[in-house]
Structure 1
Amino acid sequence: MGLDASVRCNCWERGLTRPTPLASRIVIDEEGYPALKDDDDPDFGMFWEWLQTCCVHPGMKQAHEHLANWHGYREFLQALHQAGDAERFPTLFDNLPEANGGLAPAAVASRMLAELSDFEQSARFGQRFVLLDSTSGDELRSASASHEFVLTSELRLGVDAEGFFVVSGDADVLFRSKRFTQALLAPEGSDPVRSGPALLTDLDSGRSFRCALAMPGPDIAWPDGRMQNDAGQCRSSYPTAVHFEMRDRTNADFNYIVEPLRILCSAAIETGNPIRWS
């Protein structure tokens, strides 16, 4: 789940698409993409199959990029605010979406590129709160504001400026720590992302807390080697020791979204077609 975007190619207008008997029933819709005139056309399946292979661009997309999950996208927006806000990046703030859907006109793509380059020159990106696996040193979670990453109606696990926390559904703080160990008290449950219970022990105070949920680590493969089982579930690892750090953010922290945005803007400039958020 998150934000994706694409830019359509011009193969249809240039006559570079594979012939189809549906040609007379194809129009360019309000988002600038080929569609059938009739939403209830019985040959939609045939049209969809043709669209995927009708030219050298799958789905007739000159560019198609995954930008970020929603947490990563909001982190980028927050960094834009900290680096200069809408006064410095007016085109980005006017055209980046608030949700899935919408268009950014090709006419603004060159200004978006210039503002992305300006963003990378900024020295003001703030700090981020990081949870690390104390054994491997790998980052487990990162946020620039209080972020809850495991939620149920009864418990919320997250990270903020004070470190890792567990709070109840009523917002009572049940456990806080900047250095703790985790021991699973039962095998993985039916929900691989929320296994538990687990014993969390703060290494500074020695206080332990029996948490109904375990602090998850990176996804790992199921025993059959797949990353998702038949039910579409991912399986988490569970670190045995975790610690907290405050780290300065740099422009490199946002390459995951800046580079895809550059690709999309370049494609919009080349084709004259808008960027479609999805």
Structure 2
Amino acid sequence: MGLSGFVYCRCWKDAGLEGPIGFDEDGWLDLLTPNDPVARRWFAAGCVHENFRVAWADLGSLGGQRAIRQTCEAIGWSLLPTLRDVLPTTNDGWIPAADVPAVLSELEVFESQVSTVAETVLLDEATGHAICGCIGSHGSVFGWTGKLHAGIDPDGFFVLDTGTDPPAVVFRAKRFVQRALGGDVVEFTGENGTVRLPLFLVGSVLPVTPERLAVVTRPQSAQRWGHWLGSLRMLCAASLAAGNPVKWG
């Protein structure tokens, strides 16, 4: 699911309609006194901004937001207390206008400290293309077939049989080769041996399905979060100018 952020304009304030028009309990701009004829007419057709929004930005997926929170956790929430409270976990909520200066300050901390946080990525060795990743000590399951779940963590690529209690590791490797055998069976060969499993070829959505893959742990780059940082800073600047919150949507 995708996430966007936006900031409402201040046209309704400049028209002297603060009160009849304002934010409801969920942070949406609304006509608060429907029987007020002036406010009703203005709310229907008085603003030049589409949906009363002066700024809007695509902030990526909610999965990406989880990765941002994991990065913040690794940096230390004590350094980012405002971001801990306002970063979205769903596609609703907002940054109160009063918190925007603190958010901008903490984004500077995030950008300066992000290289101290490791990311683990699964790479196609032939192209260097990153197929999936996880942050810090967190792991990530990226696909499954029946009871077999495939993922990565800092210890490498793994396949779990979730039909056992606890789930059993049936394959693990830092570097491995995969080969389709037919009949929806894939052979994985790594440093700990070879298995044949009714699973999928990893990276099969790429133009060329990888044969050799490796799990690498490396420092994060601030460039990875460049779009998110730029978009959020733009929204915060619009919030300061309008005096309105940054709303998630």
**Pair in the same fold by TM > 0.5:** yes
Per the alignment, residue 55 of structure 2 pairs with: 63
Partner Cα distance (2:124, 2:10) in 1: 48
Residue 213 in 1 paired to residue 209 in 2?
Answer: no
Per the alignment, residue 163 of structure 1 pairs with: 156
1:1-278 equivalences under 5 Å are 1-14=1-14, 27-30=21-24, 31-34=27-30, 55=48, 57-85=49-77, 87-122=78-113, 125-144=116-135, 145-151=138-144, 153-170=146-163, 171-185=167-181, 197-205=184-192, 207-216=194-203, 238-278=209-249
Q: Which runs of 5+ in 1 are unaligned?
A: 16-25, 39-49, 187-195, 221-236
Superposition deviation, residue 11 in structure 1: 4.0
Residues 220-250 of structure 1: CA deviation (Å, up to 9, x unaligned): 6xxxxxxxxxxxxxxxx63332111111123
Q: Is the 8 A contact 2:4 2:56 kept in 1?
A: yes
Gap change, CA 1:185 and 1:5, over 3 Å in 2: farther
TM-score (norm 1): 0.70
Q: Which has the higher strand share?
A: 2
Partner Cα distance (1:274, 1:201) in 2: 51
Partner Cα distance (1:105, 1:240) in 2: 49
Q: Which runs of 5+ in 2 are unaligned?
A: 35-43
Partner Cα distance (2:125, 2:52) in 1: 46
RMSD: 2.9
Q: Is the 8 A contact 1:175 1:209 kept in 2?
A: no
TM-score (norm 2): 0.78
**Count of aligned positions:** 228
Q: Which has the higher helix share?
A: 2
Gap change, CA 1:217 and 1:255, over 3 Å in 2: farther
Letter in 2 for 1:119: F
Report the secondary structure of 1:273's partner residue: coil
Partner Cα distance (2:205, 2:59) in 1: 20
Letter in 2 for 1:159: I
Partner Cα distance (1:118, 1:94) in 2: 16
